[in-house]
């Protein structure tokens, strides 16, 4: 069964009803990490994070320490925190901003100190009305406390944090689109090169973009050392991590567990975690890391929850959201709905993404609702191939950002794993269920 | 002259001052415009264009990129129901259909009494309460048709007014506090600190 | 000012290695080597965005060969590229298939059909069969997004060319993307129509038929069009254009990608003005701008009678003889509408045959011609690449639109500096590095303060010392690599103010160059051909004492001058003191040479019909002194004649010959007698022309890119064959006979005395608008509706003092009278002054403004009273 011995790093106080308040935060070790950090040299703080080997929690899984040190050519000007969380079935950052906003704010201040930036923008998904209010309140409290503003805790370090609301567009989670949105524009991802915002980011200046969960880990890491963090987990996937479990399980929710030490099966079936599939049905497929990821069949349930481990099997852990589909699930409908999402959320710049997503969505709709033709199955695969040539993982892309090559994942997975279901849809003239 | 009310205008100017370039304030300003009018009126758009030194077409086009901005009037309550993958697996489509009947409006439409606008949304990041429902971007965590009807009744009765302000109002917590130091001073401190850091790195090599 | 020579790198394309400039775009590098990569969104005159993904090619990188957009990638040394693999082909075919999926394929009824990049690439690359069986995207079919442009969103392929043009090039994002994903569309704001003066460019560069121009819509099919290359003479920028006709009707004007001048862009006035040329056959009243004058007219018993050329010429000759019998009895105003050859012929006739010194191509609204000659001249390219540009002129977006685009690019794209003498709202203000506020009657004082850092700001000026100092820093000690763009910002201020300012600046910054911003068509050519006091053909100076236009009007009123030849039909539309001008016209015998009707003709005794632009051959000279060819696309209507012929025949009627039987003869005479380029330009009409005094620097033509400028057929061949005779580049260094004006010769601007402003009045800034009540706009149905409306602009201080607010009607009292006009708030107007558009009309279409002014003072003032 699951290994649940690891300490809670980011969810340590969420069981308190007042976990979002400064009072509770201070009573549970709040701002101690920051105070400690301020006694250290900034590069020592960064080194601690580097040692923790904290992989970014936004989806790409790039080590935060390396992002801070290696990519920069010039001093970083801005820290931008990505709280856009819109990847379907991902709801961990939602929990962190609503239930522990001070931890996020403290993490941001620590990171800003390590990077020596003087402005942080926390970009939060606009639909998080409560989260926006709570984080703004936490920022206000931090100013009041002296943890923000000029000469933080009487150190030589000054910092300003601005909470920036998004307005409903999944693509703004992509870091360059997020920067465009912060600049007040449409969330059109920027064309690469330059490949990293750390080279050219907000207002054309070097910028670090990190995820909310990534930031929320920092107070603990500084208080307890990077080594303590690295001692948890396994391989490159150190520490604990938030997994958002959704779909046909008895206890959907966000669980903080040690990486690698636990498997998909542990997460889904442990009574303290997912507690099994609804009605004890058999699992048909799981989506291991957000809807951009290719699906896994039940034969991979014993795969450890580690970044490299999942990548080796041709998918990704991505944003840490796991969706369980059971034998009652129509995979055509599921893949159609995911494609509909991409077609709505494509920013519209690149032809293959804009037109490809719409075309596939309409063809899948036909398939699900009657009107599917046998030749549509090959057509769908070929359209997928035109968006992500070769249909490999990681994908090749014909587009500016990786939303495009994510479109085929679900359709390609569904067809290659459950071709019979498609044939049945065609023969039955719609969904047989 | 200003279309914004005095308080909204003051907040708008405060927001603009938070960023190195006025255009950066676009999204917060559009939220403010929506807070005042309930949607983005032509006058609101024009005022945002003025505050950000852009054109109305650019502001409108930018706003139209984002789902939360409405270019036409909507109901007092915008009800969003998710049908994305997690909610689909939990009956999101069925709840949406129920809501359409219960509210008396089609998806994307507004009820005759102007109280409700119903929207089908993408994932709202609350999948443990699937199918997920938001009213004016506040989670109401009502996953069954019965619970949904109950919330609707409460909304009609006005008993949720405290938690759910009318459409457009997003962040009720005002920014208090700030850097309270000149940016130039902070920048120069920062330059000194970075130089010191780089010198130490040099030494360490 | 040579740009640093870029280092060369070697790249491998399809196995062959080739040289490219470091940092060059891959798509351009491979194309030079003969490998064409299909594309849609790429446009050579805008920043690449890489969105259509049509240009994907395989580029070797750390993760193997990946598909990359050739339009966005910059080459670097050792780059290995494959453009013809199966993978590339499949990706490109895939993109094309995706683009066509939702495209309506209504080519038979689409304006772009036959010249459509999407259609063309589908024919060369497409599979011919569609696999798309879904319902296509539907939008309401064409939406009028402005007075001139319609949008069909179903045809749009989201290449962002139009939106980029609007925001990046024109700087007025009135069309912008709206929505997202599958529903991304081009849109305008309901409160702000697409009324940019550059809107036609978006139609021209749209790679499909999504944007169409109202005047051209459905008027022709591309394969029926004939084309000739020419130079636009709607203003003095001299954009190169492809003029197209169907039969003898002008259908379309497109911008040619001319490197030194317009980069393919045009303003809407130059593009759409063609309807005034061959449009309104129904309009016959000679007093209307919409009427083409197609036959000679003579006034008999107070009414016009159409007569033969012979009769009209003898009538005109009789008038001229009568006039010439008095000393100083004859004079001529106008000439900017002529070609250089025509201007040369008229100069011979007027000076040589009639012996008059009183010639002036300007209307008192320009700058002293000798002073312009004495200023070191910059080219448009120099101004568009200068380290710092200083503008002392009106709103260039309204006056010389394409020059505005070039200068704006220098700031926005190349990050160089712009100092603006700010006389009021202008298109450049938002990008200017420094704006120096200047009120009417102050330009010379600001110029002096700019040149003298020790003196401080003279009392009473609105400009601040801080701005002045920033401007001084940007200009530098000597003005090296600085270009001053100089014109007449204010029609209600006498030229002496600006001329004095220019003297000050030229003396103070000896290394700076100057680019004149005179707006009227071929005014620079007319001056170079001697149509001004003290000038002689070939940019020569002579110290005679002729009268300029305003002095001639005075002399006519006093009876000293008896006869006025108008070379151009719109004197009344071009002067501020219209009451005084009318009085002068009433007292004179008037001969008008014109293509168009207009109210001035009410005072004409003889009207001689002339061919206008796109109907005649010859050369013209633009603001930078570039001589380029104009070519006829259609035959002039009725019995209108080319300008050289009219002058020649009139000389004959006077019993003399000026020896210029044809345009070629005139061009040869110009070149042989003055070394001014004419015949050699005429013989090479598809070239970029020659800048006077800069013969070495002939720029070669960019190859035509039909993907970037659809609709233009090859621009290499034009209708005119090479005339026999000299076609070599002439020597343009001054021969002994030809001496340009030097500073000592220039009397203009030595002194200026601005009277004290009266505290109860406001100084008037009469600005220019592109769409005014002149004949070009009024004769073009599509543009006439856009004519500026008369509004009195005030800043909020003066508005408060007046106790009025925007929209209120106030009483405006000037030197000659009173009018009731609406006011509007505009804080770009300096306090104590008011800005009103010259050539604007009131709600009923009447000019109520000009009758208020007499122009007798250095600056004009008005008093405002709220009703
Ligand atoms: C289409 C797309 C959507 C994304 N959405 C999110 C998101 O909602 N939240 C997030 O933190 N990162 C998201 N990312 C990843 C970000 O681009 C970026 O890698 C991340 O914010 C970096 O933070 P990290 O290094 O802390 O993980 C997204 C990426 C793509 C391509
Ligand atoms: S800018 Fe002047 S020359 Fe160019 S198109 Fe317009 S009117 Fe013609
Ligand atoms: S992406 Fe290169 S031409 Fe469009």
Res B196 pLDDT > 60: yes
The whole-number pLDDT of residue C1 equals 33
pLDDT in tens, C230-255: 999 999 999 999 999 998 999 999 99
Tell me the nearest-neighbour CA distance from A27 into chain C, angstroms: 46
Question: What's the CA gap between A74 and A68, in Å, rounded?
Answer: 11
Q: Which chain B positions have a beta carbon within 8 Å of C174's beta carbon?
A: 55, 57
Rounded Cα distance between B98 and B102, Å, is 6
Render pLDDT for C739-798 as a digit per residue (tens, 0 to 9).
Answer: 888 888 999 999 999 988 888 899 999 999 999 999 899 999 999 999 999 999 999 999
Which of C51, C72, C98 comes nearest A355 by C-beta? C98
Can you read off the two tokens belonging to residue A221?
């890491």
The pLDDT confidence band at residue C105, using thresholds 50, 70 and 90, is: confident
Q: Provide the whole-model pTM.
A: 0.95
Residue C837 near residue C767, CB atoms below 8 Å: yes
Question: Which residues neighbour A219 within 8 Å (Cβ) at sequence distance 6 or greater?
Answer: A29, A30, A31, A32, A33, A34, A103, A106, A107, A110
* Per-residue model confidence (pLDDT) at position C282: 85
In percent, the amount of chain C with pLDDT more than 70 equals 96
**Domain assignment of residue B183, yes or no:** no
Instruction: Say if ligand 2 is within 6 A of residue C239 CB.
Output: yes
Same domain? For B66 and B135 the reply is no
Q: Are residues B30 and B101 in the same domain?
A: no
Of B141, B157, B173, the one marking the end of a domain is B157
For residue C729, pLDDT over 60 is answered with: no
Q: What does pLDDT average to over chain C?
A: 93
Q: Is B200 inside a domain boundary?
A: no
**Cα(C41) to centroid(ligand 3), Å:** 5
Tokens of A395: 């994908």
The larger pLDDT score, comparing residue C218 to residue A360, is at: A360
Mean pLDDT for B73-87 is 98
Where do runs of H (alpha helix) occur along C231-308? 268-272, 275-278
From C224, C207, C239, select the one nearest C122 (Cα to Cα): C207
Asked if B81 and B153 sit in the same domain, the reply is yes
Q: How confident is the model at residue C684 (pLDDT cuts 50, 70, 90)?
A: confident
At B118 the pLDDT is 98
Average per-residue pLDDT for chain A: 96
The minimal CB distance from C98 to the residues A344, A351, A363 is found for A351
CB contact under 8 A, A355 and C101: yes
Question: Which residue among B45, B71, B97 closes a domain?
Answer: B71
- Is B61 close to C180, i.e. CB distance below 8 A? no
What CATH code is carried by the domain that includes residue B54?
A: 1.10.10.1590
Q: What is the structure's pLDDT at C28?
A: 95
Q: Please say if the pLDDT value at position C285 is more than 50.
A: yes
Nearest by CB to B189, which of A127, A158, A325?
A: A158
B65 touches chain C (CB under 8 A): yes
Which residues 262-321 on chain A approach chain B with CB closer than 8 angstroms?
Answer: 287, 291, 321
How much is the pLDDT for C459?
Answer: 81
Rounded to the nearest whole angstrom, what is the distance from the C-alpha of residue A319 to the centroid of ligand 1? 8
Q: State in Å: Cα C75 to ligand 1 middle.
A: 30
Single residue among B119, B139, B157 that ends a domain in this structure: B157
The pLDDT assigned to C715 comes to 57
**Which chains pack against A, by 3+ Cβ pairs within 8 A?**
B, C
Query: Is residue B90 one of the residues assigned to a domain?
Result: yes
DSSP designation for B126: -
pLDDT for res A397: 94
Ligand having the closest approach to the CA of A350: 3
SS (H, E, C) A115-158: HCCCEEEEEECCCCHHHHHHHHHHHHHHHHHCCCECCHHHCCCC
Q: What is the mean pLDDT of residues C625-635?
A: 95
- Beta carbons of C101 and C131 less than 8 angstroms apart: no
Is residue B107 situated within a structural domain? Answer: yes
Answer yes or no: is pLDDT of C717 > 80. Answer: no
Which atom in ligand 2 lies closest to the alpha carbon of residue C401?
1
What is the chain B residue with the closest CA to A144? B177
Q: B195: which chain A residues are within 8 Å (Cβ-Cβ)?
A: none
The set of residues, in sequence order, having a beta carbon less than 8 Å from that of A83 and lying 6+ positions away, is A93, A97, A104, A122, A123, A124, A125, A128, A131, A135, A211, A212
Nearest CB neighbour to C181, from listed A345, A387, A389: A345
- Digit-coded pLDDT (tens) for B26-51: 999 999 999 999 999 999 999 999 99
Query: For C172, which of B42, B53, B55 is closest by C-beta distance?
Result: B55
CA-wise closest residue to C168 among C433, C405, C435, C416: C405
Q: Looking at the structure, do residues B136 and B67 belong to the same domain, yes or no?
A: no
* CATH number for the domain harbouring residue B145: 3.40.30.10
For chains A and B, CB pairs below 8 A equal: 205
Query: Looking at beta carbons, which residues of chain A come within 8 Å of C137?
Result: 358
- Same domain? B85 vs B58: no
Look at residue C63 in the predicted model and tell me its pLDDT.
85
User: In terms of domains, do B10 and B25 share one?
Assistant: yes
Contact residues, chain A, for C134 at CB < 8 Å: 359, 362-363, 366
Contact (CB<8Å) C176/B61: yes
Contact check, Cβ <8 Å, C53/A344? no
Torsion of CA C815, C819, C820, C822, to 10 degrees: -70
Q: Are residues B81 and B67 in the same domain?
A: no
Q: Which of residues 23-52 of B touch A (CB under 8 A)?
A: 23-28, 30-31, 52
Q: Confirm whether B41 is domain-assigned.
A: yes
- The reply to whether B92 falls in a domain is yes
Say if residue C722's pLDDT is above 60. no
Q: Which atom of ligand 1 approaches the CA of A292 most closely?
A: 1
In chain A, which residue's Cα lies nearest the Cα of B179? A149
Q: What's the average model confidence in pLDDT over C404-430?
A: 97
How large is the average pLDDT for residues A97-102?
A: 98
pLDDT above 90: percentage of residues in chain C: 86
Residues B151 and B83 in one domain: yes
Q: Kindly report, residue by residue over C156-206, the tens digit of the pLDDT.
A: 999 999 999 999 999 999 999 999 999 999 999 999 999 999 999 999 999
Q: Is the pLDDT of residue A206 over 90?
A: yes
Answer whether A396 sits within 8 Å of C66, measured CB to CB.
yes
Q: What are the backbone angles phi and psi of residue B148, rounded to the nearest 5°?
A: -60, -45
Task: Establish if B88 belongs to a structural domain.
Answer: yes
pLDDT digits (tens, 9 = 90+) for C514-563: 999 999 999 999 999 999 999 999 999 998 889 999 999 999 999 999 99
Q: Do the domain assignments include residue B194?
A: no
Confidence band of C220 (pLDDT split at 50, 70, 90): confident
Where does ligand 1 bind, in terms of residues with CB under 6 Å? A 56-60, 62, 64, 82, 84-87, 171, 173-175, 209-211, 214, 401-403
* CA-closest residue to ligand 2 atom 8: C270
- Say yes or no: B143 and B81 in one domain: yes
The pLDDT value recorded for residue C141 is 87
CB atoms B64 and C179 under 8 Å:
yes
The per-residue pLDDT for range A128-170, each reduced to its tens digit, is 999 999 999 999 999 999 999 999 999 999 999 999 999 999 9
Residues of C with CB under 8 A from a CB of B: 167, 172-180, 187-192, 194, 430
pLDDT of residue A405: 97
A90 CA from centroid of ligand 1 (Å): 12
Residue range(s) defining the domain that contains residue B20: 6-71
The 8-class DSSP code of residue C614 comes to T
C460 — alpha (psi -120 to 50), left (phi > 0) or beta? left
Distance CA B96, CA B130 (A): 12
User: Are C176 and B58 an interchain contact pair (Cβ–Cβ within 8 Å)?
Assistant: yes
As given in the structure block, the two tokens for residue C136 are 């296509």
CA distance C775 to C759: 38
Q: How confident is the model at residue C728 (pLDDT cuts 50, 70, 90)?
A: very low
Start-to-end C-alpha separation, chain A: 34
Confidence tier at C725 by pLDDT (50, 70, 90):
very low
Asked if the model's pLDDT at residue A118 lies above 90, the reply is yes
Minimal CA separation from C237 to chain A, in Å: 35
- If asked whether residues B98 and B56 sit together in one domain, one would say no
Q: How confident is the model at residue C738 (pLDDT cuts 50, 70, 90)?
A: low
Closest-CA distance, C211 to chain A, in angstroms, reads: 19
The verdict on B83 and B66 lying in the same domain is no
Residue C271 Cα to ligand 2 midpoint, Å, equals: 8
End-to-end CA distance of chain C: 58
Q: Please give the pLDDT value at position A72.
A: 62
pLDDT in tens, C653-672: 999 999 999 999 999 999 99
Instruction: With CB atoms and an 8 Å threshold, state whether B173 touches A144.
Output: no
pLDDT at B201 exceeding the cut of 90:
no
**Rounded distance between C-alpha atoms, residue C369 and residue C351, angstroms:** 17
If pLDDT is split at 50, 70 and 90, which confidence band does C703 have? confident
C chain contacts of residue B42, beta-carbon cutoff 8 Å? 189-191
Walk across the sheet containing A283-287 and list its strands.
A253-258, A240-247, A321-326, A283-287
Query: Where are the extended beta strands (E) located within A157-239?
Result: 160-165, 207-211, 233-234, 237-238
Q: Which residues of A touch B123 (CB under 8 A)?
A: 86-90, 341
* Terminal Cα distance for chain B, rounded: 62
pLDDT digits (tens, 9 = 90+) for A30-86: 999 999 999 999 999 999 999 999 999 999 999 999 999 875 668 999 999 999 999
Query: Are B65 and C167 a contacting pair at CB < 8 A?
Result: no
Do B91 and B44 have their domain in common? no
Share of chain B above pLDDT 70, in %: 100
pLDDT at A277 over 80: yes
Lining residues, ligand 3, CB within 6 Å: C 39-42, 50-55, 69, 71
Mean pLDDT, all residues of chain B? 96
* pLDDT of A296 over the 90 cut: yes
Beta bridge partners of C332: C359, C565
Number of domain units in chain B: 2
Closest-CA distance, B151 to chain C, in angstroms, reads 32
Residues of B in contact with A164 (CB under 8 A): 27-28
């Amino acid at each position: 069964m699951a290994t649940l011995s690891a300490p809670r790093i980011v969810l340590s106080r969420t069981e308190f009803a007042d976990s979002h308040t400064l009072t509770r935060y201070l009573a549970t070790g709040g701002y101690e990490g920051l105070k400690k950090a301020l006694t250290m040299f900034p590069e020592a703080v960064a080194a601690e994070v580097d040692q923790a080997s904290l992989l970014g929690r936004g989806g790409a899984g790039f080590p935060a320490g390396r992002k801070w040190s290696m990519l920069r050519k010039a001093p970083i000007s801005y820290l931008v925190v990505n709280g856009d969380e819109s990847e379907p079935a991902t709801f961990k950052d939602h929990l962190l901003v609503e239930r522990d906003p001070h931890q996020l704010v403290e993490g941001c201040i620590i990171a800003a100190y390590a990077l020596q930036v003087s402005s942080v923008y926390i970009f939060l998904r606009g639909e998080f009305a409560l989260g926006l209010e709570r984080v703004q309140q936490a920022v206000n409290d931090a100013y009041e406390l002296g943890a923000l503003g000029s000469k933080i805790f009487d150190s030589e370090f000054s910092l300003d944090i601005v909470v920036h609301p998004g307005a409903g567009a999944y693509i703004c989670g992509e870091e360059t689109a997020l920067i465009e949105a912060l600049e007040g524009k449409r969330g059109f991802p920027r064309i690469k090169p330059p490949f990293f915002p750390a080279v050219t980011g907000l207002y054309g200046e070097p910028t670090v973009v990190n995820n909310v969960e990534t930031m929320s880990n920092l107070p603990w890491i500084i208080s307890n050392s990077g080594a303590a963090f690295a001692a948890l987990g396994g391989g490159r996937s150190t520490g604990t991590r938030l997994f958002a479990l959704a779909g046909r399980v008895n206890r959907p929710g966000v669980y903080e567990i040690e990486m690698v030490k636990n498997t998909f099966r542990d997460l889904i079936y442990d009574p303290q975690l997912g507690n099994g599939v609804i009605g004890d049905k058999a699992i048909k497929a799981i989506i291991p890391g957000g809807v951009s990821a290719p699906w896994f069949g039940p034969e991979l349930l014993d795969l450890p929850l580690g970044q490299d481990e999942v990548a080796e099997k041709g998918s990704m852990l991505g944003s840490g959201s796991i969706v369980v589909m059971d034998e009652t699930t129509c995979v055509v409908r599921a893949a159609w709905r995911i494609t509909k999402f991409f077609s709505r959320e494509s920013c519209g710049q690149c032809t293959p993404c804009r037109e490809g997503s719409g075309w596939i969505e309409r063809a899948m709709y036909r398939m699900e609702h009657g009107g599917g033709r046998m030749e549509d199955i090959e057509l769908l695969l070929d359209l997928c191939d035109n968006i992500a040539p070769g249909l490999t993982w990681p994908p090749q892309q014909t587009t500016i950002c990786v939303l495009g090559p994510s479109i085929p994942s679900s359709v390609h997975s569904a067809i290659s794993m459950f071709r019979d279901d498609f044939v049945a849809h065609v023969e039955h003239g719609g969904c047989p269920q | 002259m200003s279309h914004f009310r005095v308080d909204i205008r003051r907040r708008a100017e405060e927001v603009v001052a938070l960023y190195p370039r006025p255009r950066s304030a676009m999204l917060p300003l559009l939220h403010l415009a929506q807070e005042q009018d309930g949607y983005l009126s032509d006058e609101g758009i024009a005022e945002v264009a003025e505050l950000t030194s852009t054109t109305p077409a650019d502001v409108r086009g930018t706003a139209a990129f984002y789902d939360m901005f409405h270019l036409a009037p909507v109901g007092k309550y915008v009800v969003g129901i998710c049908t994305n993958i997690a909610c689909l697996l939990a009956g999101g489509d069925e709840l949406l259909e129920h809501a359409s009947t219960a509210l008396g409006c089609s998806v994307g439409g507004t009820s005759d009494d102007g109280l409700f606008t119903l929207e089908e949304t993408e994932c709202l990041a609350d999948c443990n309460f699937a199918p997920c429902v938001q009213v004016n971007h506040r989670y109401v965590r009502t996953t069954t048709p019965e619970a949904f009807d109950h919330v609707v009744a409460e909304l009609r009765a006005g008993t949720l007014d405290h938690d759910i302000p009318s459409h457009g109002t997003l962040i009720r917590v005002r920014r208090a506090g700030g850097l309270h130091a000149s940016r130039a001073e902070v920048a120069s401190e920062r330059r000194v600190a970075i130089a010191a850091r780089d010198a130490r790195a040099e030494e360490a090599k | 000012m040579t740009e640093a020579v870029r280092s060369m790198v070697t790249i491998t394309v399809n196995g062959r290695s080739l040289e490219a400039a470091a940092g060059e775009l891959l798509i351009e590098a491979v194309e030079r080597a003969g490998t064409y990569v299909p594309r849609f969104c790429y446009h050579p005159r805008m920043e690449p965005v890489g969105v259509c993904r049509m240009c994907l090619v395989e580029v070797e990188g750390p993760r193997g060969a990946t598909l990359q957009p050739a339009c966005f990638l910059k080459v670097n040394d050792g780059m290995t590229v494959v453009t013809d693999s199966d993978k590339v082909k499949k990706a490109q075919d895939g993109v094309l298939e995706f683009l066509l999926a939702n495209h309506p394929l209504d080519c038979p009824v689409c304006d772009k059909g036959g010249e459509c990049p999407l259609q063309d690439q589908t024919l060369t690359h497409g599979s011919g069969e569609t696999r798309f069986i879904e319902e296509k995207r539907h939008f309401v079919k064409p939406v009028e997004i402005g007075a001139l442009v319609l949008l069909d969103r179903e045809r749009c392929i989201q290449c962002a060319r139009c939106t980029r043009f609007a925001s990046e090039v024109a700087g007025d994002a009135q069309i912008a993307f709206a929505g997202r994903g599958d529903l991304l569309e081009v849109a305008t704001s309901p409160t702000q129509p697409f009324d940019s003066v550059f809107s036609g460019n978006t139609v021209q560069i749209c790679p499909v038929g999504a944007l169409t121009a109202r005047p051209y819509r459905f008027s022709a099919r591309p394969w029926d069009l004939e084309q000739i290359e020419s130079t636009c003479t709607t203003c003095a920028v001299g954009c190169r254009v492809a003029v197209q006709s169907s039969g003898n009707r002008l259908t379309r004007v497109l911008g040619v990608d001319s490197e030194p001048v317009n980069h393919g862009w045009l303003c809407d006035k130059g593009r759409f003005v063609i309807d005034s040329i061959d449009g309104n056959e129904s309009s016959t009243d000679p007093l209307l701008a919409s009427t083409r004058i197609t036959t000679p007219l003579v006034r008999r018993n107070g009414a016009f009678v159409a007569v033969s050329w012979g009769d009209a010429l003898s009538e005109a000759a009789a008038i001229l003889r009568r006039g010439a019998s008095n000393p100083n009895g004859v004079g001529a105003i106008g000439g900017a509408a002529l070609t250089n050859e025509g201007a040369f012929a008229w100069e011979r006739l007027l000076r040589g045959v009639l012996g008059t010194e009183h010639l002036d191509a300007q209307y008192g609204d320009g700058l002293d011609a000798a002073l312009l000659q004495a200023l070191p001249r910059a080219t448009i390219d120099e101004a568009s690449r200068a380290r710092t540009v200083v503008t002392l002129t009106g709103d260039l977006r309204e006056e010389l639109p394409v020059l505005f685009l070039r200068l704006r690019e220098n700031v926005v794209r190349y990050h160089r500096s712009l100092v603006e003498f700010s006389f009021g709202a202008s298109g450049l203000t938002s990008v200017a590095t420094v704006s120096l506020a200047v009120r009417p009657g102050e330009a010379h004082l600001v110029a002096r303060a700019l040149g003298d850092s020790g003196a401080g700001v003279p009392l009473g000026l609105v400009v601040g010392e801080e701005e002045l100092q920033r401007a001084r820093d940007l200009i530098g000690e000597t003005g090296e690599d600085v270009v001053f763009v100089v014109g007449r910002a204010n029609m209600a201020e006498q030229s002496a103010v600006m001329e004095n300012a220019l003297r000050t600046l030229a003396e103070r910054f000896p290394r700076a160059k100057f680019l004149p911003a005179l707006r009227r068509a071929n005014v620079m050519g007319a001056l170079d051909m001697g149509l001004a006091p003290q000038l002689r053909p070939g940019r020569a100076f002579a110290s005679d004492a002729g009268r300029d236009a305003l002095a001639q009007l005075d002399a006519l009123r006093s009876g000293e001058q008896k006869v006025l030849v108008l070379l151009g039909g719109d004197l009344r539309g071009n002067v501020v003191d219209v009451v005084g001008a009318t009085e002068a016209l009433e007292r004179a015998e008037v001969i008008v040479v014109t293509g168009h009707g207009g109210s001035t003709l009410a005072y004409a005794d003889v009207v001689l019909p002339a061919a206008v632009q796109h109907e005649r051959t010859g050369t013209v000279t633009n603001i930078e002194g570039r001589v380029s060819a104009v070519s006829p696309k259609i035959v002039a209507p009725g019995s209108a004649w080319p300008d050289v012929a009219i002058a020649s025949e009139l000389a004959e009627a006077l019993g003399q010959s000026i020896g210029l039987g044809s345009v070629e003869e005139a061009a040869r005479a110009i070149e042989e007698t003055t070394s001014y380029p004419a015949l050699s330009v005429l013989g090479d009409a598809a070239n970029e022309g020659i800048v006077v005094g800069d013969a070495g620097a002939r720029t070669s033509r960019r190859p035509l890119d039909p993907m970037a400028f659809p609709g233009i057929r090859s621009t290499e061949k034009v209708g005119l064959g090479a005339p026999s005779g000299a076609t070599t580049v002439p020597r343009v260094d001054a021969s002994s006979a030809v001496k340009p004006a030097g500073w000592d010769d220039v009397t203009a601007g030595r002194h200026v005395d601005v009277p004290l402003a009266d505290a109860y009045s406001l100084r008037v800034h009469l600005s220019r608008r592109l769409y005014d009540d002149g004949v070009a706009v009024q004769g073009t149905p599509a543009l006439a509706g856009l004519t500026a409306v008369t509004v009195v602009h005030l800043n909020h201080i003066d508005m408060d003092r007046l106790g009025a607010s925007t929209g209120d009607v106030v009483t405006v009292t000037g030197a000659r009278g009173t009018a009731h006009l609406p006011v509007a708030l505009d804080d770009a107007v300096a306090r104590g002054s008011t800005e009103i558009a010259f050539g604007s009309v009131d709600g009923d279409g009447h000019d109520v403004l000009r009758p208020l002014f007499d122009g007798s003072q250095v600056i004009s003032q008005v008093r405002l009273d709220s009703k």
